């Protein structure tokens, strides 16, 4: 029987030899070419190579790429000649039996554009590599425990290229080539020192407060411990005794705020800004953070007979700001039904807000109230602007201090001047609070008997004593609300 099998194999081989065909079992780059003549084999190889892919491999993980994307070009004719030579000029009778009894994977003849392949591998790193994960803190059955560090895997591009460069055809014989990877160690391998701190924090939900300085309103969003525990991580901290500090992985709180901090009007929060504040809070051992609520532009529909100045009075935005937001409009010829863009009210509150202080000025009552932590600390009679130059209603902000400001338009010195709004965009002068002014030409005080009725050209007048007091109390950032 063995003899008959050998005779049969030999007979089949003789037929293939005689026909000049490639021996059975021979493949090139994963394409079976056995039994084909050179023309057929070349066509099959070109077709498979052009429509197929090369597999990049890191152990059990694989990625596929078209040869052209890798910069690898097949020499089909040379590859087919090598396949036909197997068992003839290459390997002899042993090669024949190897082909007939099993699979022979031959190396394709290829050329490599090394610059192109290098660029491809560099760009693919983000997909291929596994970043090392630092040790952190995780919640297990309601308690913080250490989350072990995990090593990563990085693609060694130079070593991968060197391995392929040594014998590119052999490396691609089965249609794959192995990437050279190296293990990467996490920067932080031990977070045990932070577990107690994390447990103390995770006894409470994480609360993000949002303050709206325009409306003087608060909103809050609360993430329960089982939610925000997943955000906690450990980071390097040069000032920490252990070299570590608790922080938050930004993706978690960002996703939470994007879902929770929603409004049904023009308001919004800046999520990146809020996340940074949350990270600062955790680093300081706190589970609360306060962020600002912002305002988008809105629109306003003009009623019959309205002027831009009247609209500014109604909405609490000085009309030059509205005019600037609507280039090309005729401020003196508005039409009923015309839709105007109202700029964001935040343009009038440009500095970081001081949320625990607020100044309220009433034009109708000619009065000022200053609040600190919700309590009235100052309650004074004041004077606002006259009818031809009124103090604009709206929400503004203390932006400057000048011990004795000079108003060249009126040739006046204004003691303890606190600027809180520009009458229009790109206008340098500011309206503000000040004490009784002094005439620069005569040196005498003005308006000393006018408190309690409009008297100024847009500023808010206080007594000398009260102006000095407010000057020291109202730092830049304090919100000023002027009501009609």
Q: How far apart are CA 247 and CA 137, in angstroms?
A: 10
- pLDDT for the residue numbered 240: 67
The answer to whether residue 265 scores a pLDDT higher than 90 is: yes
Model confidence, pTM: 0.65
Which of 2-16, 86-100, 124-138 comes out lowest in average pLDDT?
2-16
Nearest to 481 by CA among 400, 325, 379, 371: 371
Q: Tell me the two tokens of residue 306.
A: 């309205």
Q: How confident is the model at residue 241 (pLDDT cuts 50, 70, 90)?
A: low
Whether pLDDT at 6 is above 50: no
Average pLDDT over every residue of 196-207: 90
- pLDDT for 40 equals 87
pLDDT of residue 318: 96
CATH superfamily of 298-343: LysM domain (3.10.350.10)
- From residue 195, how far is each of 186, 188, 199, 481 by CA, in Å? 18, 14, 6, 46
Distance, CA of 279 to CA of 126 (rounded, Å):
26
More confident position, 480 or 86:
480
Q: What is the pLDDT of residues 340-387, one digit of tens each?
A: 999 999 999 999 999 999 999 999 999 999 999 999 999 999 999 999
pLDDT score recorded for residue 63: 93
Q: What integer is the mean pLDDT of 242-264?
A: 91
Residue appearing with tokens 């994007």: 258
* pLDDT tens column, 130-162: 999 887 777 677 577 887 889 999 999 999 999
pLDDT at 167: 85
Q: Which residues of 150-270 form beta strands (DSSP E)?
A: 152-155, 176-178, 181-184, 206-212, 217-223, 232-236, 244-248, 267-269
pLDDT-derived band at 440 (thresholds 50, 70, 90) equals confident
- pLDDT confidence of residue 462: 98
Out of 17-21, 124-128, 470-474, least confident range: 17-21
Contact between residue 38 and residue 84 where contact means Cβ atoms under 8 Å apart: yes
pLDDT at 120: 95
> Which class is domain 349-483?
mainly beta
Q: Where in the chain is the domain with CATH 2.40.440.10?
A: 349-483
């Amino acid at each position: 029987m063995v003899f008959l099998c050998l005779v049969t194999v030999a007979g089949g081989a003789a037929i293939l030899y005689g026909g000049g065909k490639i021996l059975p079992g021979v493949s090139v780059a994963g394409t079976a070419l056995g039994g084909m003549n050179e023309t057929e084999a070349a066509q099959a190889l070109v077709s498979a190579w052009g429509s197929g892919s090369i597999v990049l491999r890191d152990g059990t993980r694989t990625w596929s790429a078209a040869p052209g994307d890798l910069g690898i070009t097949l020499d089909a004719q040379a590859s087919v000649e090598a396949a036909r030579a197997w068992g003839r000029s290459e390997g002899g009778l042993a090669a024949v039996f190897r082909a007939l009894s099993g699979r022979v994977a031959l190396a394709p003849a290829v050329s490599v554009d090394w610059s192109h392949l290098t660029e491809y591998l560099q760009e693919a790193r983000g997909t291929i590599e596994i970043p090392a994960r630092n040790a952190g803190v995780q919640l297990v059955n309601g308690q913080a425990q250490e989350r072990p560090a995990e090593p990563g895997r990085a693609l060694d591009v130079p070593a991968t290229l060197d391995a392929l460069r040594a014998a590119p055809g052999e490396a691609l014989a089965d249609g794959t080539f192995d990437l050279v990877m190296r293990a990467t160690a996490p920067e932080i391998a031990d977070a045990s020192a932070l577990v107690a701190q994390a447990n103390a924090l995770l006894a409470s939900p994480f609360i993000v407060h949002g303050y709206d300085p325009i409306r003087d309103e608060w909103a809050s969003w609360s993430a329960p411990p089982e939610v925000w525990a997943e955000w906690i991580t450990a980071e390097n901290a040069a000032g920490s005794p252990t070299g570590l500090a608790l922080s938050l992985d930004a993706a978690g709180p960002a996703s939470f705020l994007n879902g929770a901090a929603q409004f049904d009007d023009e308001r919004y929060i800046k999520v990146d800004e809020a996340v940074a504040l949350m990270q600062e809070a955790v680093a300081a051992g706190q589970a609360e953070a306060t962020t600002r609520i912002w305002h988008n532009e809105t629109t306003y529909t003009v009623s019959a007979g309205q002027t831009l100045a009247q609209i500014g009075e109604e909405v609490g935005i000085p009309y030059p700001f509205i005019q600037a937001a609507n280039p090309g409009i005729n401020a003196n010829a508005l039409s009923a039904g015309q839709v105007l863009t109202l700029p964001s009210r935040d343009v009038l509150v440009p500095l970081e807000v001081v949320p625990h202080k607020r100044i309220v000025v009433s034009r109708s009552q000619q009065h000022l109230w200053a609040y600190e932590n919700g309590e009235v600390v100052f309650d004074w009679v004041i004077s606002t602007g006259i009818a031809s130059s009124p103090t604009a209603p709206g929400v503004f902000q203390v932006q400057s201090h000048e011990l004795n400001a000079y108003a060249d338009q009126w040739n006046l010195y204004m003691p303890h001047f606190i600027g809180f709004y520009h009458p229009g965009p790109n206008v340098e002068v500011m309206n503000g609070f000040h004490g009784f002014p002094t005439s620069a030409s005569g040196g005498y005080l003005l308006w000393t008997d006018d408190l309690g009725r409009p008297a100024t050209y847009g500023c808010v007048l206080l007594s000398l004593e009260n102006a000095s007091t407010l000057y020291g109390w109202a730092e830049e950032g304090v919100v000023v609300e002027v009501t009609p």
